[in-house]
A and B are shown apart, each in its own frame.
Chain A
Amino acid sequence: MKYVIAVVKPQKLDDVRAAVADLGVAGMTVSDVRGYGRQKGHTEVYRGAEYTVDFLPKVKIEIAVADDAADAVVNAIRNAANSNTIGDGKIFVLDLENAVRVRTGEQDVNAL
């Protein structure tokens, strides 16, 4: 199994959800996060004075998938989240050791 972590622009969340749902992905976890990458922060003006926002709002999407589905999911996320501008985000793929469904105790791929 693979654990896919994608950090994308908040307004792309619905597109990403739709794209991976089409692939049959059964669940995802989403959190509001802040961070910076190459985009760094940006400046805003409040009452006539400029200030930098160092951490930009993003959403972090976490999806556990079977090994053979990982590439398709990563591509789907990439296509859906891409606006071809700086700050579109990153996708990380990790090996996933195990998964357990709380209600039934099912393990591994059966728990996804």
Chain B
Amino acid sequence: MTTVLNNQFLVRIMRRLGASLFVLAVFAAPAVAQDAAQGAAADIAPASETAEIVFNTLLFLICGMVVMFMAAGFCMLETGLVRSKNAATICLKNISLFSIAGLMVWLTGYNLIYGVEAGGLLGKFGWWSADDGNILETGYAASSDWYFQMVFVATAASIVSGTLAERIKLWPFLIFTALLTGIIYPIQASWEWGGGYLDARWGFSDFAGSTLVHATGGWAALAGAFVLGPRDGRFEGGRSTPMPGSNLPLATLGTFILWLGWFGFNGGSQLALGTVEDAISVANVIVNTNMAACGGVITAVLMTSFIYKKIDLTIVLNGAIGGLVAITAEPLAPAVWQAVVIGAVGGVIVTVAVPLLDRFRIDDVVGAIPAHLLCGIWGTLVVPWTNGDASLVGQLVGVVMNAAFVFSTSLAIWVMLRYSIGIRIKPEEERTGLDKSELGLEAYPEFAGR
């Protein structure tokens, strides 16, 4: 009797073991499938040179258009998170900064990024014009690359706008935007993407710009927030007084648009779609990008519900952005679970940093500093975990150089603007709202202002 029981017990254990092995196999399967696909790719006939150029160009153009729409995402996110008396001004700032970025990348930006010598620090000044003379070498239409780089610069400028909302004068903001997009961003981007100092000397690795785009925007925003000061009444009497956003559905729509835009941002940063390997890489990048955002959202949901007993929607929105920013430095190498973890930590950073900034009396209206700056640094430093070609030292040097250059130049410009034309609106105008004082209109004229 006992032996029979024992036998049954053994059989059960064997079954359990079998099941676990099966589960393991399922988890391992994607890796195996990926290897198989890359193995198979070797057997597939290569595309013609024409096809390769067409597909590379198409990747730049289509992903560039998707990234362009992030400008709309930032605009809606920021509009939703400011009070209704400042909503129209935020819209004007966003459409203006996108246009300024376009002009500046044409005038100086592109050649500063790509005119740099190998290992150099400063590119060439001079405007860009399309040169398709060596299209067989580059593998894409010159204008498609210019367009793709331009929308990235605009993204960095959008980050600044949200932090400084509700109290900054329009003109100094636009002047700063021109200097950021025409000079500051291009110079630091050239160190890596132009093959300059960070790329040649330190092997710095930043796939789509956790540091080069997002931390750059974040440092510029932080410098601005220091010089500009918090909104009137935000930290009065030693405590933090929230100023709830006017339209959370709009803020949520903006976040979804940004999430969508990120597929172009990271997917397009593969920079090529002319081979089977590239196609596989772009697809993997897009999946990892999505999973990091999922991780950021879920940790923010769990953490805010645990800390505040109720879930904080706007921090959850920041969590999505934080996850996306974190995966941007290396969206290709991580396995899916690693992408989830990288994004999830982004969600933690955002949840902790939003009230922490309040503690330091830094008024960041939309949470751009936690999401873009801190998660950008995190994403950059964690690259060596999944990408063996990167080193922690190299990543650190990149982060520090970017910080030192962008923060100091931004700070200098903000201080100069403050003591020349002034950057802050009058207290009275702040009370009535920028829409009336800067634009002379109201975003929602049919509703009485409060």
Contacts and interface: CB of A to CB of B under 8 A. Distances in A.
Q: How large is the interface on A (under 10, 10 to 19, 20 to 34, 35 or more residues)?
A: under 10
B241 A45 contact: no
A1 B312 CA distance: 50
A46 B240 CA distance: 11
A48 B356 CA distance: 10
A48 B355 contact: yes
A49 interface: yes
B354 A45 contact: no
Interface string A22-65: 00000000000000000000001111111100000000000000
A90 to B, nearest CB: 23
A3 B358 CA distance: 50
A45 B308 contact: yes
Contacts of A44: 244
Contacts of A49: 240-242, 355, 358
B112 interface: no
Nearest to B351: A48
A25 B95 CA distance: 54
Contacts of B367: 47
Contacts of A48: 304, 307-308, 312, 315, 354-355, 358
Interface in B301-316: 304, 307-308, 310, 312, 314-315
Nearest to A52: B241
Contacts of B307: 48
Interface in B350-389: 354-355, 358, 367
Contacts of B244: 44, 46, 51
A55 to B, nearest CB: 10
Contacts of B240: 49
B354 A47 contact: yes
A51 B245 CA distance: 13
13 contacts: A45-B310, A46-B242, A46-B245, A46-B312, A47-B312, A47-B315, A47-B355, A47-B367, A48-B307, A49-B242, A49-B355, A49-B358, A51-B244
Contacts, number: 33
Contacts of B358: 48-49
Contacts of A51: 241-242, 244
Interface string B51-72: 0000000000000000000000
Interface in B287-326: 304, 307-308, 310, 312, 314-315
Interface of B: 240-242, 244-245, 304, 307-308, 310, 312, 314-315, 354-355, 358, 367
A54 to B, nearest CB: 12
Interface of A: 44-51
**Interface pairs A-B: 9 shortest CB-CB:** A48-B355, A46-B242, A49-B240, A49-B242, A46-B244, A51-B242, A45-B308, A48-B354, A47-B314
Residue of A45, A46, A47, A49 with most chain B CB atoms under a 10 A cut-off? A47
Contacts of A50: 242
A53 to B, nearest CB: 9
A48 B244 CA distance: 11
Contacts of B354: 47-48
B199 to A, nearest CB: 38
A46 B314 contact: yes
B297 to A, nearest CB: 16
Nearest to A34: B450
Nearest to B450: A34
A77 B241 CA distance: 38
A45 to B, nearest CB: 5
A61 B160 CA distance: 47
A44 B241 CA distance: 11
A100 to B, nearest CB: 29
A47 B307 CA distance: 12
A47 to B, nearest CB: 5
Nearest to B309: A45
Contacts of B312: 45-48
Given A45-B308, A46-B244, A48-B358, 19 more contacts: A45-B310, A45-B312, A46-B242, A46-B245, A46-B312, A46-B314, A47-B242, A47-B315, A47-B354, A47-B355, A48-B304, A48-B315, A48-B354, A49-B240, A49-B241, A49-B358, A50-B242, A51-B241, A51-B244
A66 B354 CA distance: 58
A10 B241 CA distance: 27
B126 to A, nearest CB: 44
